[in-house]
């Protein structure tokens, strides 16, 4: 049996939206002695198993209606 | 005033809110479970309580906003029924689109749980008519995601239209323009992070929250 079709939706905060978690990660990395770390932004990855033939438009609709809050977040879809 | 309080899995201020409504209005609200697809007939007032609906999965309020009962609440708000969302309830209301903007992680990253001073900005609403504009009241907050965000145009519109109900009078969570509570354009929906239901009688240490429920009852009968 073939592996199910998968889509990956990456959700990140929009530019211009302050990301306090990214800031904290940035400062922790610097605290650990890593140099040259610039802006850090944290996001989330949502992996979906989908029925074969599910369209990108359908996944986009999922992202708009639930997976991302487009007031503050952007999303990127990767699928075959 | 015929009231209902919506209960989601993970709500934890639903009974406090019901208690406040009961003590102020003399009538207990109906508790409505999230899986209901309709609301009781003839409601005047719908309360969306604080807590951690659906464990704050995905985003605070995101799952609750898509629950069956919230479709009915959105429709009821559209008919002009009064809706008050407190804390997680505010997050739910922004996620449904009934209120603009979003509530993000507190700028200091910490969960903030203490009494804060608020400035009453709009004292003309169904919810705030028993306060004076410019008055400072003290009401507790308890949240991790109370950092209000909206784009500049939206913030200007909220301020220009008198839709900022409360502002923090001290640093709390990094909210844009110190916004603690906002109204929808029709004025029948209020979302706020502070918890007025926690200060309705002296035994709770103060009564600054009580006037909100008195105002609603006076407006709604």
pLDDT by residue (tens digit) across B123-169?
Answer: 999 999 999 999 999 999 999 999 999 999 999 999 999 999 999 99
> Which helix (H) or strand (E) covers residue B74, if one does?
helix B68-78
Residues of B in contact with A20 (CB under 8 A): 104-109, 147, 174
Q: Which domains does chain B have, with CATH numbers?
A: 3-220 (3.40.50.880)
Is the pLDDT at B211 greater than 90, yes or no? Answer: yes
Is the pLDDT at A9 greater than 80, yes or no? Answer: yes
Mean pLDDT of A19-35: 92
Q: What is the pLDDT of residue B96?
A: 97
Q: Å from A68 to nearest chain B CA?
A: 9
Closest chain B residue to A14 measured between Cα atoms?
Answer: B151
* Domains of chain A: total: 1
State what percent of residues in chain B have pLDDT above 90: 99
Average pLDDT, chain B: 97
| Yes or no, beta carbons of B149 and A21 under 8 Å apart | no
The pairing of strands B189-192 and B82-86 is parallel
Is the pLDDT at A1 greater than 70, yes or no? Answer: no
CA-wise closest residue to B175 among B107, B115, B110, B122? B107
Is the pLDDT at B87 greater than 70, yes or no? Answer: yes
Place of tokens 């504009």: B133
Residues of B in contact with A67 (CB under 8 A): 58
Q: What is the pLDDT of residue A19?
A: 87
| Yes or no, beta carbons of B104 and A20 under 8 Å apart | yes
| Sheet with strand A43-50: strands edge to edge | A43-50, A5-13, A73-78
Mean pLDDT of B25-30: 96
Please check whether residue A17 touches B, CB under 8 A.
Answer: yes
Boundaries of domain holding A30: 5-78
Given the residues B13, B34, B87, B119, the one annotated as active site: B87
CATH number at A66 reads 3.30.1280.10
Is the pLDDT at A16 greater than 90, yes or no? Answer: no
Please check whether residue A66 touches B, CB under 8 A.
Answer: yes
Sign of the dihedral through C-alpha A61, A65, A70, A71? positive
């Amino acid at each position: 049996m073939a592996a199910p079709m998968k889509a990956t939706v990456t959700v990140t905060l929009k530019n211009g939206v302050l990301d306090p978690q990214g800031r904290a990660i940035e400062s922790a990395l610097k605290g650990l002695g890593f140099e040259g770390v610039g802006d850090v932004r944290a996001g989330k990855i949502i992996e979906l198993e989908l029925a074969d033939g599910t369209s990108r438009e359908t996944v986009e609709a999922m992202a708009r209606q639930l997976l991302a809050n487009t007031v503050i977040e952007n999303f990127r879809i990767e699928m075959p | 005033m015929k009231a209902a309080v919506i209960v989601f899995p993970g709500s934890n201020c639903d009974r406090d809110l019901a208690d406040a409504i009961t003590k102020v209005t003399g009538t207990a609200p109906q508790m409505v479970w999230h899986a209901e697809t309709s609301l009781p007939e003839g409601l005047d007032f719908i309360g969306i309580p604080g807590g951690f609906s659906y464990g704050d999965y995905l985003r605070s309020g995101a799952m609750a906003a898509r629950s069956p009962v919230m479709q009915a609440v959105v429709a009821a708000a559209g008919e002009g029924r009064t809706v008050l969302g407190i804390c997680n309830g505010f997050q739910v209301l922004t996620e449904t689109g009934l209120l603009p903007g979003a509530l993000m992680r507190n700028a200091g990253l910490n969960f903030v749980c203490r009494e804060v001073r608020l400035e009453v900005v709009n004292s003309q609403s169904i919810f705030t008519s028993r306060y004076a504009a410019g008055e400072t009241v003290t009401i507790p907050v308890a949240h991790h995601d109370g950092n209000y965000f909206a784009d500049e145009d939206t913030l200007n519109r909220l301020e220009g239209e008198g839709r900022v109900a409360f502002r923090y009078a001290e640093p709390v969570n990094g909210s844009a323009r110190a916004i603690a509570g906002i109204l929808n354009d029709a004025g029948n929906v209020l979302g706020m992070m502070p918890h007025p239901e926690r200060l309705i009688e002296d035994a709770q240490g103060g009564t600054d929250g009580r006037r909100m429920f008195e105002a609603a009852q006076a407006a709604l009968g």
